[in-house]
């Protein structure tokens, strides 16, 4: 039935006379890591807001986790994970309290929350700092914790909006190890980024230019197609 985690056709958003997202069409397979790229103002955030049920399309159709983005936005909000660039951890709560808090928001039972808290702390090696306020953690750890917390309700798809801003390539690489683990377990990852090393890590990448999807393929195919050595070069040729 739903072979795709995300299926979008002719999706359009206008603000008055201005078309911010111009008839974009693409599918994302289950378990795929899909990079959503574009220069500042290309329309990524506007498109993503429609996908996660926060904004109604002007035209076009979209299905996310099998739900219609026009009529089933509430189901989408509950069924997906979302990590924004300004991730929403509470700095003055401890690591453990943050996990428990999000478990509560997503309606997990007490038992599920306790199980999930242990699981996340084990996975991320956070036991030592469990009782420290999140403010005390290095940024890279905070990002991994925010990612873990966005999946506390075990969603089929996670949307990551520039999840690794401000950290160096080594720390980004660590974050991506966690992304791979999740994709290997069958979760679909939809990620926006400005870092071209991250674009290289995706299964497929789309590049938006002025509201349109100008290119969409695997990093290798895009490099061939645009006669480029790196994704940086591809991006510059298309989206500068």
Ligand X SMILES: Nc1ncnc2c1ncn2[C@@H]1O[C@H](COP(=O)(O)OP(=O)(O)OP(=O)(O)O)[C@@H](O)[C@H]1O
Residues of this chain that interact with ligand X (CB under 6 A) are 15, 18, 20, 38, 40-46
Nearer to ligand X, 13 or 116 (CB): 13
- Least CB distance from residue 18 to ligand X, whole Å? 6
- Least CB distance from residue 122 to ligand X, whole Å? 35
- Least CB distance from residue 194 to ligand X, whole Å? 7
Residue 184 burial (CB count, 10 A) = 9
CA-to-CA distance for 190 and 5, rounded, in angstroms? 10
Nearer to ligand X, 40 or 71 (CB): 40
CA-to-CA distance for 239 and 111, rounded, in angstroms? 48
- Those residues whose C-beta lies under 8 Å from the C-beta of residue 63, and which sit 6 or more positions away, are 2, 4, 6, 7, 8, 69
Nearer to ligand X, 137 or 215 (CB): 215
- Least CB distance from residue 67 to ligand X, whole Å? 22
- Least CB distance from residue 153 to ligand X, whole Å? 26
Segments of 51-141 assigned E as strands: 59-64, 67-68, 80-83
Nearer to ligand X, 41 or 186 (CB): 41
CA-to-CA distance for 116 and 106, rounded, in angstroms? 12
Nearer to ligand X, 43 or 155 (CB): 43
- Least CB distance from residue 188 to ligand X, whole Å? 20
Nearer to ligand X, 42 or 157 (CB): 42
CA-to-CA distance for 134 and 88, rounded, in angstroms? 11
Q: What is the DSSP letter of 127?
A: G
CA-to-CA distance for 11 and 27, rounded, in angstroms? 12
Specify which residues 8 forms β-bridges with. Answer: 26, 62
Of all residues in this chain, which one has the CB nearest to ligand X in the complex? 45
CA-to-CA distance for 199 and 215, rounded, in angstroms? 13
């Amino acid at each position: 039935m739903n072979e795709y985690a995300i299926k979008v056709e002719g999706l359009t958003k206008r603000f008055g006379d201005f078309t911010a997202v111009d008839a974009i069409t693409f599918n994302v397979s289950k378990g795929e890591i899909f990079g959503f790229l574009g220069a500042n103002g290309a329309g990524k955030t506007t498109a993503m807001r429609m996908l996660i049920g926060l904004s109604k399309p002007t035209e076009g159709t979209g299905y996310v986790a099998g739900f219609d983005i026009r009529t089933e936005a509430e189901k989408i909000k509950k069924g997906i994970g979302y990590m924004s660039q300004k991730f929403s951890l509470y700095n003055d709560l401890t690591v453990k309290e943050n996990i428990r808090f999000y478990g509560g928001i997503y309606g997990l039972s007490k038992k599920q929350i306790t199980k999930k808290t242990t699981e996340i702390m084990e996975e991320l090696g956070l036991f030592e700092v469990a009782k420290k306020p999140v403010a005390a953690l290095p940024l890279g750890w905070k990002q991994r914790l925010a990612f873990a917390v966005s999946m506390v309700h075990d969603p089929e798809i996670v949307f990551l909006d520039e999840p690794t801003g401000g950290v160096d390539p080594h720390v980004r690489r660590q974050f991506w190890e966690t992304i791979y683990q999740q994709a290997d377990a069958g979760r679909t990852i939809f990620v926006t980024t400005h870092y071209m090393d991250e674009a290289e890590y995706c299964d497929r990448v789309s590049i938006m230019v002025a509201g349109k999807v100008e290119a969409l393929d695997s990093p290798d195919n895009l490099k061939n197609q645009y006669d480029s050595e790196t994704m940086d070069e591809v991006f510059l040729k298309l989206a500068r």
